Structure 1
């Protein structure tokens, strides 16, 4: 079984560390690819820039922060969901924003899930563990090649 990577798009070092620790403790075997801004995320997904030579396999899931440098999470979401070859990549907005407008806009663009980061360490850890399990292990991905 070929495990597709999880793309973590996060610029906050503390959230990166917690997320990676939670995924590791959950024994998620998928490779975790880290993008620290929206440009890196788009480069990875669209196999361009520093990722031009990577295999064009889509990630199992994109864990996407809303507030990112260079290109924000909503713009990343919009570009991915607008592209016919990539619109079926599961994307989870993982953010500290509780703004109703962010939730509404994310779902209207096509986000698969909107998760507000819990402030408490244990809650954040559990949320990431469950997200990794559902999207990387249990979710049946959209077939790469359709008949």
Structure 2
């Protein structure tokens, strides 16, 4: 399966849309981040994940994250996304959110699933654990 099949052809950035094919070509690992602004554990983890993301990218790791919102409305999702340095599955694509949550057996948030960018093969469904146990991002290999 290709990453574009998982995430759709385009995801949102702060400056418009980004082709998922480009994300796949330019990265080794992509995090699929299930979260919501109303969730206290999410609001605690998101800043730490943001620091981790920025650290890995500034050290040259080819790593991207795509936020999948579990917010109840688009305004809340957009506000929360504004605090994140990565990309987002368009909020309006609720079917894709449901499909992804089902595929990765997401039963609670925050959940971070790491996949290979080229093949969409699952690296781990325990991405939160990876963030705390792999501070240098050793998982991020082609």
* Range of TM-score over shorter length: 0.3 to 0.5
Larger Rg: 1
* Structure 1 or 2: more strand by fraction: 2
